[in-house]
Structure 1
Amino acid sequence: MREAAPRAVTLICQALQEQIEHGLLSSGCKLPAERKLSEVFDTTRITLREALLQLEAQGLIYREERRGWFIAPARLDYDLMKRSHFHAMVRDQGREPSTRLLSARQQPAPAAVCEGLQLPPLSSVVQLRRLRCIDQRPVLYVEHYLKPAVFPGILEHDLSQPLTELYLNQYGLRYGRVCFEMTPTALHVEAAAALKVSVGSPGLLITRVNFDQDGRLIDCDLEYWRHDAIRLSAQVG
């Protein structure tokens, strides 16, 4: 006999969480199709989906469009106070990073970018859109906005490499002060498509406004992270 829906959801969550904690369902493992899982737990697809959504909200599993459900890997530790670029941060934690350039162009700056970079209306900026992966899993969609006067000719360079290294090697610039703003968000169309999730899926938006070693405002980044991909930390003082 099938359990009442609320109790069934709890039992499904507990059963799958136990399998994950004991390593029987390992990181990256694909779960059976929802139809099969509903048969295993003798429940309806609606009840099963509610349990899966709860586990997704906890960061234990994740869904990819048209591919199904997977066991989530360990979160990346993201120390906001440590000056490190994405590739170095990922490798330091024993994992494999990669970056793919999605687009690069000079364009009129969006209003929010004009405000963040203290630019007058209708100013031009260089926009870079990049997708970043950990162990081949897309976890971060980034929009970089650069002041063209600070980075002449930057579109001619390899823009899949860490910008930290490109800035230093080609322009003699190092990051100085950084201002962070973090906001839970629903992933918009471009971010969701890059991260292979549904539009409106939960994410974390980290906005970074960056200054160089001389205190000059040089660029800003809009980082759209999968909500289950990172663990934020900071030590002050």
Structure 2
Amino acid sequence: MTLRQALRQLEDDGLLSQQPGRGTFVAEPKATYRLDSLRGLAEDLRAQGRTVSTEILGQTLRRPPAWVAAWLGTDRALRLERLRLLAGRPAVHQLSWVRAPAGAALRDTDLSATSLYAALAGHGVVVHRASEVLRPELLSAPVADLLRQQAGTPVFVSDRITYGLDDQPIVVDRATILGTVMEVRTERAATGLSMRWTSSS
């Protein structure tokens, strides 16, 4: 009983991986999803020395859903669906919507080995900034099949809005990230502190 509890604790801490029917193994170090850089996901992971490959699941011009159209302000956008694999294992499902005309220009571009940001830059579209919301969720059935996981598995979901130099949204992106494969990390510094004086009367 004590051994079982110890193994469960080590698994909870991410140090062990228990695989039914196979045994208990030392867990591989998790890749890091960094919040303090403005790079494409694959670029970020390769910079950590990870082996990353991308499968393109869809790349077509179409009408975006209402919540995406509200950001992009257009009724036509490039829908880019990708599966990111770490060392050959599915780790991230990514669905990106790119505003026209940049989206139309990228419709036939091979984005399996090229960063979306780099491809946009090649068409004269410069990424200026991005806002991102990261939240925990449970994996839904359609994406669970793509990630080869059971529905209900805990994941991180990232919604990122990327802006150009004109401060208009150019990419709306939703990434579903397996928490068993990646961890989220950021660094903070005591800089950029703002103060405001108010009257005490």
- The partner residue of 2:3 within 5, 11, 26 is 11
Q: Judging changes above 3 Å, is the alpha-carbon distance between structure 1 residues 207 and 12 closer, same or farther for their aligned structure 2 residues?
A: same
Unpaired runs of 5+ residues, structure 2, are 192-201
Q: Judging changes above 3 Å, is the alpha-carbon distance between structure 1 residues 60 and 186 closer, same or farther for their aligned structure 2 residues?
A: farther
Q: Is 1:80 aligned to residue 39 of structure 2?
A: no
- TM-score (normalizing by structure 1): 0.69
In angstroms, what is the RMSD of aligned CA positions? Answer: 2.8
C-alpha contact 1:210 1:220 (8 A) present in aligned 2: yes
Q: Kindly provide the CA deviation profile for residues 26-46 of structure 1, in whole angstroms up to 9, marking residues without a partner as x.
A: xxxxxxxxxxxxxxxxxxxxx
C-alpha contact 1:63 1:197 (8 A) present in aligned 2: no
C-alpha contact 1:188 1:199 (8 A) present in aligned 2: yes
Query: Percent of counterpart pairs with the same letter?
Result: 23
Q: Is 1:92 aligned to residue 44 of structure 2?
A: no
Q: More helix by proportion, 1 or 2?
A: 1
Q: Judging changes above 3 Å, is the alpha-carbon distance between structure 1 residues 145 and 13 closer, same or farther for their aligned structure 2 residues?
A: farther
Q: Is 1:113 aligned to residue 65 of structure 2?
A: no
- TM-score (normalizing by structure 2): 0.80
**Alignment size in residue pairs:** 188
Q: Which has the larger radius of gyration?
A: 1
Q: How does 1:33-182 map to 2 (within 5 A)?
A: 55=11, 58-60=13-15, 72-115=27-70, 117-119=71-73, 123-160=75-112, 161-169=114-122, 171-182=123-134
Q: Whole-Å Cα distance in 2 between the matches of residues 92 and 86 of structure 1?
A: 10
Q: More strand by proportion, 1 or 2?
A: 2
Partner of 1:151, secondary structure, is helix
The runs of at least 4 consecutive aligned structure 1 residues that moved more than 3 Å come to 15-18, 57-64, 67-72
Counterpart residue type for residue 4 of structure 2:
I
Counterpart residue type for residue 33 of structure 2:
Y
